[in-house]
Amino acid sequence: MADSYIKYSDQTVNSAFQDFYVVPDYQREYVWEGAQVEQLLFDLLEAYEADPKKAYFLGTMVTYANENNFELIDGQQRLTTFFIILCAIKAALKRFGDQTGIIDNLIFSSAYNADGDIDHRYHVQLQYEDAKGYLEQIEKNEPGAGELSQSGRRLFEAFHLAQKWIDDHFPQKEELRKFVAFFLVKTSFIRIETHDITDALKIFETINQRGKGLDPMDLMKNMIFRQVEREQFKELNLTWKQIIRKLEQIDEKPLRFLRYFIMANYSTEMERDQILREDQIYT
């Protein structure tokens, strides 16, 4: 049985990206749109301009420590965006003819795997179906070949937004370097780490159960994952996606469907004619 313990550590971008992170295939894909990426960038700028020597806290992420990786259970959208910002910073430094070695080591490096072999890999790896090596293309500053998936479109949009944002606000090399120092060592977050996948999912649920981070559909999915064996995650995720896609094909909102499903099937446990609100679904 896996060790059951919970560890908390205060991380900066610089310290966090010494480790390797995996977004497993049972997780949802990259869903941040331009507005969310821009909000993060301008939050960083506001904190930097207010006091570049003061730490800026960006929340928590929940991980499952698996061999030489941290599986991201919660916080993958933000950490993936950090990775994209690092790639945009690297591209900007290259345009200035500046050294990129420090940034390179946070994006890509080598490490021993569980078999003692050396792996050359990126510090964030997206394993879900719609990833298709997009982070590698972004790191190389190469446009995606062929038709992009929805996740790919969002990933490339985030990269282009980060590039433009850097160009607009840090047109001089010295200015950019100062911001990079702030971004690497003054932005901080708490990494919650467990060696038991069920513990990690339970922490995820606890953090999000009041609807602050995710909607009831995501929380329901997480609750179901906690009831099955790890080997069933991929099959469960595929089935879940098929259900959601069928609802989307008939222009039915998943939350609305779930509301009426619960009201129709569990009416004996509810007062007659009671209306179930969306914010009550998970409870």
Which amino acid, residue 271? E
pLDDT grade for 218, boundaries at 50, 70 and 90:
confident
Closest among 70, 76, 72, 88 to 32, alpha carbons compared = 76
Average pLDDT over every residue of 138-165: 87
Give per-residue pLDDT as tens, 154-181. 999 999 999 999 999 999 999 999 999 9
What residue ranges do the domains of the chain occupy?
6-210, 215-283
pLDDT reading at 270 higher than 70: no
pLDDT reading at 272 higher than 60: no
pLDDT reading at 213 higher than 70: no
At 174 the pLDDT is: 94
Average pLDDT over every residue of 121-137: 88
At 145 the pLDDT is: 60
pLDDT grade for 208, boundaries at 50, 70 and 90:
low
153: tokens are 């479109």
pTM greater than 0.85: no
User: In this predicted structure, which of 15-24, 44-53, 67-76 has the lowest mean pLDDT?
Assistant: 67-76
CA distances to 16, 70, 121, 217, 250 from 67, in Å: 16, 8, 15, 30, 42
3-class secondary-structure state, position 189: strand
Distance, in Å, from the CA atom of 144 to the CA atom of 142, rounded to the nearest integer, reads 6
User: In this predicted structure, which of 55-59, 177-181, 203-207, 233-237 has the lowest mean pLDDT?
Assistant: 203-207
Give per-residue pLDDT as tens, 91-117. 999 999 999 999 999 999 877 777 788
pLDDT reading at 211 higher than 50: no
Distance, in Å, from the CA atom of 185 to the CA atom of 171, rounded to the nearest integer, reads 21
Q: How much is the mean pLDDT over the chain?
A: 85
pLDDT reading at 135 higher than 70: yes
Give per-residue pLDDT as tens, 185-203. 999 999 999 888 888 877 8
Instruction: For the chain, give the longest Cα–Cα distance.
Output: 71
Phi-psi label, residue 238: left if phi above 0, alpha if psi -120 to 50, beta otherwise: alpha
